[in-house]
Amino acid sequence: MSGAETMSVVIWHNPKCGTSRNALAMIRATGVEPEVLHYLDTPPDSAALAAAAQAVGGARALLRTKGTPADEMGLDNADDATILAAMVEHPILINRPVVITPRGIVLARPSERVLEVLEARPPSDFRKEDGAAVAG
């Protein structure tokens, strides 16, 4: 088996998000079937959130403000511990998609960032939902 077939990949996924769908499709196009965590239904625990935040540059980098109550909750000036606690209680505050592999953790925004932590690349003819080619 190649590394692409055996690599363990987890994606924190929101099927309503085009970026998340594109990242998931790129992972699958490499021959990997990831563990898909629908984080709005089954949120990651505080330890997983803390690890992801550390990897992507802090809790603020992992915080989604668009379409969330982040501003109303006063998270704009909050420290990491407060932001992470709010994410545990309100998973809508977690930006997505987060992709976790043995090679690292990325917030795959844009979706092509997923390639940073995958061992293989999608086929050269792979296209995102909007038809855009992915340079791999």
35-80 pLDDT, tens digit each: 999 999 999 999 999 999 999 999 999 999 999 999 999 998 999 9
- Do 12 and 78 lie in one domain? The reply is no
Residues 58 and 76 in one domain: yes
**Is 11 part of any domain?**
yes
Q: Are residues 101 and 72 in the same domain?
A: no
Q: Are residues 89 and 60 in the same domain?
A: yes
pLDDT band at 90 (very low <50, low <70, confident <90, very high): very high
> Which of 10, 17, 51, 92 does the annotation list as catalytic?
17
Higher pLDDT, 5 or 96: 96
- The predicted model gives 75-88 an average pLDDT of 95
Catalytic, 17? Answer: yes
Structural domains counted in the chain = 2
Q: Which domain covers residue 50, as residue numbers?
A: 44-95
Residues 17 and 84 in one domain: no
Q: Is residue 20 part of a domain?
A: yes
Contacts of 92 (CB under 8 A, 6+ apart): 40, 64, 67, 68, 69
pLDDT band at 7 (very low <50, low <70, confident <90, very high): confident
Say yes or no: 48 and 113 in one domain. Answer: no
**Strands 10-13, 35-38: parallel, antiparallel or unpaired by DSSP?**
parallel
Kindly state the tokens that stand for 50.
Answer: 């803390």
Rounded Cα–Cα distance for residues 59 and 72 (Å): 17
Looking at the structure, tell me whether residues 68 and 100 fall in a common domain. Answer: no
Three-class SS state of 13: strand
Note whether residue 108 is domain-resident: yes
| Residue 55 is assigned to a structural domain of this protein | yes
Statement to judge: residues 120 and 108 lie in one domain:
yes
Whether residues 49 and 91 share a domain: the answer is yes
- Confidence (pLDDT) at 6: 63
Here the CATH number for the domain that contains residue 58 is 3.40.30.10
